[in-house]
Amino acid sequence: MSEFPSVDHDTCVGCQTCMNTCPKGDALWEFNDEGKAVFKIDNKDECVHCHACGDSCPASAISFKEQ
Ligand code: SF4
Ligand code: SF4
């Protein structure tokens, strides 16, 4: 098991910093109809667990959970 990002959509402001900071960019991130960040769990093997997404999020909306 490894840790992957999980976004609190009540807190996410849709700034897209997570995707822009992630070394894998849009391979791992997309945005839903409300502009909230969604981690592409289907592509989770691409994640290098660097935590850059969570560290860069201005709203502290990203936590890491075992998946
Ligand atoms: S960086 Fe944080 S607030 Fe911005 S889109 Fe990503 S999860 Fe949402
Ligand atoms: S932990 Fe790193 S590789 Fe994984 S989604 Fe976040 S920024 Fe991208």
CA 37 to CA 56: how far, in whole Å?
13
Check if CATH label 3.30.70.20 holds for domain 3-66. yes
CA 64 to CA 51: how far, in whole Å?
8
Chain segment 6-47, per-residue pLDDT in tens: 999 999 999 999 999 999 999 999 999 999 999 999 999 999
What residue's CA is closest to ligand 2, atom 5? Answer: 47
The yes-or-no verdict on residue 1 having pLDDT over 80 is: no
pTM as predicted: 0.95
Helix (H, G, I), strand (E, B) or coil at 50: coil
Chain segment 39-67, per-residue pLDDT in tens: 999 999 999 999 999 999 999 999 999 98
Whether 30 contacts 38, CB under 8 Å: yes
Q: Best mutation site among 4, 6, 7 for ligand 1, i.e. most ligand atoms within 8 A of its Cβ?
A: 7
Ligand in closest contact with the CA of 17: 1
